[in-house]
Structures are given as structure tokens and as C-alpha cells.
């Protein structure tokens, strides 16, 4: 059935048959055989408002009947203008220049290219390097992949874009001594590793620091108290741009339109995508301030970068309709109200010895799986090779679509649509409990 379809991040071969997802409604998806599943991952951290929203499909059809396509290459469209204005209104501080892409990896790529070009135009041409965190994932384009801190994902494509430097992430569950007893001290230590890296590389060579508000790869890793406050100070001290990679965390996933607001820091750029349209049409964006735009606003200097489908008029129309739903239904407030209940429901699973850590924020959580809960011992490669596929299949068979992230220690990721409530949380917990009890 799928002989001609080359799947993404997927194994192919004899005996491997891909499930076919045919329909969605609300928080439920159905396969082509009619079996239903609770969408515990919002597709891929994307379907914030749930499946089957007719008004989003209707918004796409209306726009396509008026203007189906035109590029933003020296031209504008009404929907792109309106969406840029809407996003600038939501964005924190003075971030008010919106450069549209078609996805998150392109938004990250755009941010790095802008950082390098900006410093060349402002008399600091040697600043081109980027600092990011170990295990963090930032996308698949050559630049974004270089920023990514997952060696196994990068190895097949090396050599990559030069200039990417890695520092420790903020996984307090795996914090080194003596910082494993004090989250704030650990956060200060982790942030100071960024300053250390800038000093080592030379501040005149470092352009930007790329950080997710809650790091996805490795299992929904939140920032410790004071971490971003210290990072902002470091970036200011060394004239380094702070880029908030919110491809996953923006548009309500943590509780605000942009998660930097949830953690109280002001970035110089934001990369976003996924939840902007709830996945009903592809779009992404890099958001910058007038400071970064100014060198390009002289009538002659161009930022020589763009995408054929960036800011596609149909996608922009869908995004506007999606954001209307956010405001009308108060989805950000809903996440802030119900997020603690999701945490509390998942924390009930601590009575299972295979659950080592429950972590995350908002509607974005992970359960790190361990061999021994008391010692936090993780699994050997051989054990993981048997355990992870078995758990993944069992969860799906039990009616829960989610995923196990293996880019760090194995962690089950849970990120349901923002319309979910306690009934769905209980269903997720019940399925996880049954499967993990058997696995343990």
C-alpha cells in the first residue's frame, strides 16, 4: 500500500508496515481500518485546537478561491500583512518584524543567517558561531542540523555548516554533583557554561545562542529557576543574540502565545511554526526586532534569503482563523488552568518502578523511563533495543498515539491538543499505567 511513499524518520524493509491514519475529530484519530486512538501528541506538537475544525478548512477554501498563491519576493499579500501584524502584537517586547517560512527548521535556518548577516553589516564580520545545548533538536536543514545537539542525527550528513558549539542542557534529573540538590544553583551552573563557551571561542566569533524554552529532545526539559535571566545577561555582556526556538513551545503549548513570556525572558529573535495553524496548513516564521531589521531598511541593502511558499496566502488565512479560535475559546488560559492537573495526573505513575522522572510544563510533558528508580540507572543499549519498540507498539495498540524519544535517555512524550481536559488526562494515565506495568 505504501510502496511508493518514502516516510520521514522511518525504517523501511520486509515486514514493516506503516499504520495509515485516515481521519481526525477533536482529540481522536482513526486509522484506515476504523480503529480509534487518543492523539496524545497533537500530531507532532501541532494540532493545538484539535482535529476536524471545519472553519479552518473553510478559511483555506475562501482564500484559495480569491488568491491561491503569490510569493512574498518583493510583493505582499493581504493575509501575510494581517498575520504579520497579528503575530507582532502577540510577540514580547520590541519583536515586530515577521519573516515567514514554511516550517520550523526553515525558521531556525533564517535566524542563524540573519544573525550572521546582521553582524557583517554592523562592523563585526567575525561573529558567525552559534551556541546551543546538548541533545537539543533544532531542525534538519544543514544549518539547523548543525545547531542540533544529537550526534547520531548529524553523522550521516557531515560535514555540516561550521560554527556550531554545544553546552550542557538543563535536565535537573541528570544534573552533576554538587548541583543535583539545588535546581537554582544548577540553572546558574548551566547558564555559566554558555559564558564559558563564548570566552573559549572568543566573543568576537559568536553571533547567537539558540535555546528552546522547554527542550524537546531528551524529554520535555524545562529551565531551572533563574536560568534564562542569567542567559539574557550573558548575551548582553558579550553582544550575542538570544534566539528562542519556539517551534514547539509557541502558540499555547506552555500557556502563552510565546513561551518566553511564560519564563520571563526577552529574546532577540523567535523561531516558530507548528501551532500557528494547528497543522491545517504549513507555515513558520522568524520574528525579529527593529534593531535587527534596521541595517536592511536603507533602500539598498537586501537580506538575500527566502522561500517559494513562505507566508503562503492560504496558510496565512488558516493561521488567522486558528488564532481567532485561540482568542475566542481562551486556549492559553485553559492550558494555564489545566496544565497543573496534567502534571498531577502523570505524577500518579511514580508508583511504577520504571518511571524515573515526570517533567515538563503546560501541555508538554515527558516520562523518563529507568531500569532502577532509586538509583536512576538507565537501560543498556541492548535493553533499550528490546524495550522501546515493545512499549511504543503496546501504547499504540492500546489506543494512545504518542512517542518515545530516544535522543537522550528514553522518555515517553505527552503533548495532547489544548482542548483536552481531565477526562483525556485520565485516559492517557490509564493506558500508560497498563503498558508500563507490563513492561516493568
> 21-52+330-439: which CATH architecture?
Alpha-Beta Complex (3.90)
In whole angstroms, give the CA distance from residue 348 to residue 343: 9
Query: If you average pLDDT over every residue of the chain, what do you get?
Result: 97
For residue 440, the model assigns a pLDDT of: 79
> Considering the chain, what percentage of its residues have pLDDT values greater than 90?
95
Find cell 539598498 and name the residue. 300
Residues of the chain with pLDDT under 50: none
In the chain, where are the structural domains located? 21-52+330-439, 56-329
The confidence score (pLDDT) of residue 1 equals 58
Three-state SS annotation for 140-198: CCHHHHHHCCCHHHHHHHCCCCCCEEEECCCCHHHCCCCHHHCHHHHHHHHHHHHHHHH
H-only helix segments in 296-421 = 313-329, 331-347, 381-397
> For the domain bounded by 56-329, which CATH number is listed?
3.40.640.10
At 330, list the grid cell: 481562551
pTM of the entire predicted model:
0.96
The pLDDT value given to residue 439: 86
Bridging pattern class, strands 364-369 and 355-361: antiparallel
Check for a shared fold between 21-52+330-439 and 56-329. no
Model pLDDT for residues 36-47, shown as the tens digit of each residue: 999 999 999 999
Amino acid at each position: 500500500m505504501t510502496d511508493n511513499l518514502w516516510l520521514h524518520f522511518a525504517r523501511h524493509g520486509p515486514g514493516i508496515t506503516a499504520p495509515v491514519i485516515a481521519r481526525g475529530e477533536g482529540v481522536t484519530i482513526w486509522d484506515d481500518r476504523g480503529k480509534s486512538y487518543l492523539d496524545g501528541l497533537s500530531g507532532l506538537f501541532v494540532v493545538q485546537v484539535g482535529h476536524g475544525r471545519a472553519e479552518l478548512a473553510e478559511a483555506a477554501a475562501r482564500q484559495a478561491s480569491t488568491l491561491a498563491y503569490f510569493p512574498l519576493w518583493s510583493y505582499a499579500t493581504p493575509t501575510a500583512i494581517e498575520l504579520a501584524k497579528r503575530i507582532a502584537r502577540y510577540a514580547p517586547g520590541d519583536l515586530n518584524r515577521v519573516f515567514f517560512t514554511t516550517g520550523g527548521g526553515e525558521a531556525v535556518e533564517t535566524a542563524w543567517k540573519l544573525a550572521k548577516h546582521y553582524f557583517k553589516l554592523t562592523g563585526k564580520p567575525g561573529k558567525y558561531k552559534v551556541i546551543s545545548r546538548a541533545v537539543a533538536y533544532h531542525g534538519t536543514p544543514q544549518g539547523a542540523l548543525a545547531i542540533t545537539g544529537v550526534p547520531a542525527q548529524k553523522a550521516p550528513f557531515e560535514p555540516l555548516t561550521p560554527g556550531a558549539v554545544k553546552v550542557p542542557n538543563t535536565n535537573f534529573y541528570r544534573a552533576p554533583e554538587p548541583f543535583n540538590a539545588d535546581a537554582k544553583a544548577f540553572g546558574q551552573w548551566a547558564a555559566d557554561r554558555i559564558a564559558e563557551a563564548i570566552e573559549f571561542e572568543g566573543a568576537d566569533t559568536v553571533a547567537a545562542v539558540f535555546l528552546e524554552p522547554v527542550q524537546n529532545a531528551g524529554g520535555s526539559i524545562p529551565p531551572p529557576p533563574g536560568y534564562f535571566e542569567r542567559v539574557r545577561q550573558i548575551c548582553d555582556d558579550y553582544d550575542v543574540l538570544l534566539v528562542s526556538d519556539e517551534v514547539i513551545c509557541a502558540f499555547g503549548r506552555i500557556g502563552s502565545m510565546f513561551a518566553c513570556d511564560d519564563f520571563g525572558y526577552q529574546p532577540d529573535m523567535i523561531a516558530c511554526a507548528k501551532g500557528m495553524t494547528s497543522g491545517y496548513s504549513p507555515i513558520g516564521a522568524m520574528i525579529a526586532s527593529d534593531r535587527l531589521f534596521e541595517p536592511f531598511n536603507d533602500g539598498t541593502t537586501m537580506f538575500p534569503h527566502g522561500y517559494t511558499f513562505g507566508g503562503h496566502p492560504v496558510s496565512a488565512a488558516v493561521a488567522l482563523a486558528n488564532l481567532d479560535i485561540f482568542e475566542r475559546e481562551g486556549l492559553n488560559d485553559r492550558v494555564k488552568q489545566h496544565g497543573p492537573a496534567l502534571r498531577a495526573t502523570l505524577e500518579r505513575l511514580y508508583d511504577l518502578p520504571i518511571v524515573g522522572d515526570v517533567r515538563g510544563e503546560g501541555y508538554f510533558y515527558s516520562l523518563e523511563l529507568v531500569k532502577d528508580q532509586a538509583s536512576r540507572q538507565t537501560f543498556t543499549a541492548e535493553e533499550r533495543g528490546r524495550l522501546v519498540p515493545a512499549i511504543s507498539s503496546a501504547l499504540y495498540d492500546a489506543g494512545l498515539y504518542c512517542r518515545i524519544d530516544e535522543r537522550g535517555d528514553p522518555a515517553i512524550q505527552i503533548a495532547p491538543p489544548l482542548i483536552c481536559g481531565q477526562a483525556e488526562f485520565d485516559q492517557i494515565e490509564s493506558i500508560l499505567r497498563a503498558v508500563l506495568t507490563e513492561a516493568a
